Structure 1
Amino acid sequence: MTIVAAADGSALGNPGPAGWAWYVDENCWRAGGWPHGTNNMGELMAVLDLFKSTEHVPEEPLHILCDSQYVINCITKWMPGWKRKGWRKADGKPVLNLELLKDIDAAILGRKYTFEWVKGHAGHDLNEAADDRARDAATAYQAKRTPNAGPGFPGAGSPTAEPAAESGAESDPVATVEPPAAPMQQAPAAPMQQAPADEVQPDLFSMLEDDLDPSFPAGRDASLEAVVQLERELLDPAVRADPLRASELLHPDFEEIGASGRRLSRQEALAMFSDETAGHTSLEVLTLNRLDDSTALLTYRSDAPDGSALRSSIWQFASGRWQVRFHQGTSEA
């Protein structure tokens, strides 16, 4: 019988006091955290602990609900390529959250699992329950008290040891709680397509040897159509809420002139993304032109709950990827 669980992470300050949690139902969930960590660390730790907490029932497939595209892509797309490169990205830099990723890579071996992306903070019962418990754990560490670790998974052994949030830092242990003797009442499974048996091994998600890793789904596509795809992605609230993914889309020298007339640096734009609660924004392409071999200009009309705007973005293609170099928006009367 498939185990359906939501996994989520939380960080107050990002980085700051951080928490993680996975949730099946009120009798089956676990949470923990660190005094200092990031949201992505919490998301990864929640998934790792879920695999470790169910390792005594390896025959049961896992269906994991997750609102982090970063975590889903790490596990289902990017890890095999990183491993071939010695756990380094295409630019040669070390992969972030390496110890957590290595532990996940070991934990998923031989397991049947599927991931389903769900929109965060959108009323999904399991996701909201996991989010609440992850945030509670982060709040507990902020207040310097032990978080509620939850009942755990029935029949599971000792809790997973949590890696230190920072190099040289030690995480506070989560109190061990004996699982209840009563059988687990499993949450109803969301409609899904069961992963074939041959998808047990993550190697089946391997990228080609010369593929770019986490960068961009359209990263190797130098066509103008890829620019539109990436601009749509940059408007996606889930992407804007993911600091790692959003930063990959912005050129190191990115600048923006907003509809208010305010000029933003790359750092200021990323901070604005993390603070906003934007709804869905549609994009209507007006013009798309190649300015030279590596530069494209996209103009479009955006339509969001707070109104429409005319926008222009300059994208540059370098090192096999598109990144937005400049953006300007003007509110439409």
Structure 2
Amino acid sequence: MTITAAADGSALGNPGPAGWAWYVNDDCWRAGGWPHGTNNMGELMAVLDLFRSTAHMPGEDLHILCDSQYVINSVTKWMPGWKRKGWRKSDGKPVMNVELLKDIDQALVGRKYKFEWVRGHAGHDLNEAADDRARAAATAYQQGVAVRQGPGFGAPAGYLVPAAQAAPAAGQAAPADQAVPAAVQAAPQAPVPSGRHELFGVPTLFDEPDLFSELDEDTTPAPGTDASPEAIVESLERELLLPETRGDFGRTGVLLHPDFTEIGTSGRIWTRDAVMMSLEETPGGPTELEMLGADRLDAQTVLLTYRSHTRSGSALRSSLWVHDGAQWRLRFHQGTPEA
């Protein structure tokens, strides 16, 4: 027998109130979260909890539907190399979310499983159900209300867990079936401004995507300021150029539209997943930005144009941002090298 389940994560602010969920059917699912975490933490925790929740059925194969290339590649491609290097990446930097990844590595022992990538927010029934429950858990932590944890495999259906109990505070012990990573326990609890989103990127002329580069200044509007859409989008574009943003899958995944496309200065067309995976390994170097224009095309669309300056030369760039009803996301970017 094969158990087919979707696993998904959600974060409001990223980092911010975060949730995770896996879903088999309406009678078999589980969800949880933390007061402060990232989308990637939720994605990984959903997979980890699915393995833990089915540990009493080691003979059953697991078919895991996941919309996160980061999770799939981490588990199926990158973990062996990270382990050999002491859980460090090829550049020597520590692997992010290492506590969760180590727990997943242990949970895989003796299990038969396969991952299947599915496009998020594309009408896939199981993925949508998992996404709804993960977002509901994150929202519960945001509002300080009970988290609907779900029946799991055999628990009473609709069981509610108070938000204060579902994820212990820093320093407190976590239940064995819902351990909170040390990185999450230690994370600061200050609220994230509702206008902050996230992403990552970088430029190398021929072999890497070229969207994001380091800037010397951070012009993100201060919390509580009444910024225009053009100002918000410009600040988010600048945030994408920060090295800490480029190297964070969670922040990247929030700011990049699911259908994001980039035409790089080399002429190569990059998909969202290809950009995210490449830039995580090669975040790029410093860049200066010269803003040329910020034009509101309609109420939900802003076009930015600017010139970037790097050691390899300058390029003219355009970024199309769209508002999806909840936040601004980068839908398209193009770079054209100057002679």
Fold-level match, TM-score > 0.5? Answer: yes
Change (3 A) 1:80 1:136: same
Q: Are the structure 2 counterparts of residues 44 and 284 from structure 1 closer, same or farther at C-alpha, using a change threshold of 3 Å? A: closer
Query: Could you list the runs of 5+ residues in structure 1 that have no partner in the other structure?
Result: 172-214, 217-221, 235-249, 289-293, 296-305, 318-323
Match for residue 160 of structure 1 among 170, 174, 178: 178
Could you say what secondary structure the match of 2:44 adopts?
Answer: helix
- Aligned partner of 1:65 in structure 2 is 65
Higher relative CO (Cα under 8 Å, sequence separation at least 6) belongs to 1
Question: 1:315 and 1:151, CA in 2 relative to 1: closer, same or farther beyond 3 A?
Answer: farther
Aligned-partner residue type, residue 239 of structure 2: Q
Question: C-alpha separation between the residues in 2 aligned to 1:97 and 1:140?
Answer: 23
Deviation at 1:277, TM superposition (A): 4.0
> Match for residue 197 of structure 1?
none
Q: How does 1:172-187 map onto structure 2 within 5 Å?
A: none
SS at 2:19's partner residue? strand
Distance 2:46 2:118 in 1: 15
In structure 2, the CA distance between the partners of 1:286 and 1:90, relative to structure 1 (3 Å rule), is closer
Q: TM-score, normalised by structure 2?
A: 0.58
2:239 is matched with which residue: 267, 271, 283?
267
User: Do the aligned residues in 2 keep the contact of 1:52 with 1:160 (CA within 8 Å)?
Assistant: no
Report SS of the residue matched to 1:29: strand
Letter of the 2:259 counterpart: G
Other-structure match for 1:252: 214
**Aligned-partner Cα distance in 1 for 2:187–2:4:** 33
Query: Is the 8 Å Cα contact of residues 314 and 326 (structure 1) preserved in structure 2?
Result: yes
Count of matched residue positions in the alignment of Structure 1 and Structure 2? 239
Q: 1:40 to 1:326 in 2, by over 3 A?
A: farther
Q: CA deviation at 1:73?
A: 1.0
Shift of 1:91: 2.3
| TM-score (normalised: structure 1) | 0.58
- Aligned residues with identical type, % of pairs: 57
Matches within 5 A, 1:123-272: 123-154=123-154, 159-164=177-182, 166-168=184-186, 224=206, 226-227=207-208, 230=209, 250-253=212-215, 266-268=238-240
**Structure 2 counterpart of 1:247:** none
Q: CA offset at residue 285 of structure 1?
A: 8.8
Distance 1:278 1:72, change over 3 A: closer
For residue 313 of structure 1, report the CA deviation from its aligned partner. 8.7
Alignment of 1:26-105 (within 5 A): 26-105=26-105
Aligned counterpart in structure 2 of residue 328 of structure 1, from 286, 306, 317: 317
Unmatched segments (≥5 aa) in structure 2: 157-174, 190-199, 218-229, 246-250, 269-283, 286-300, 321-333, 335-339
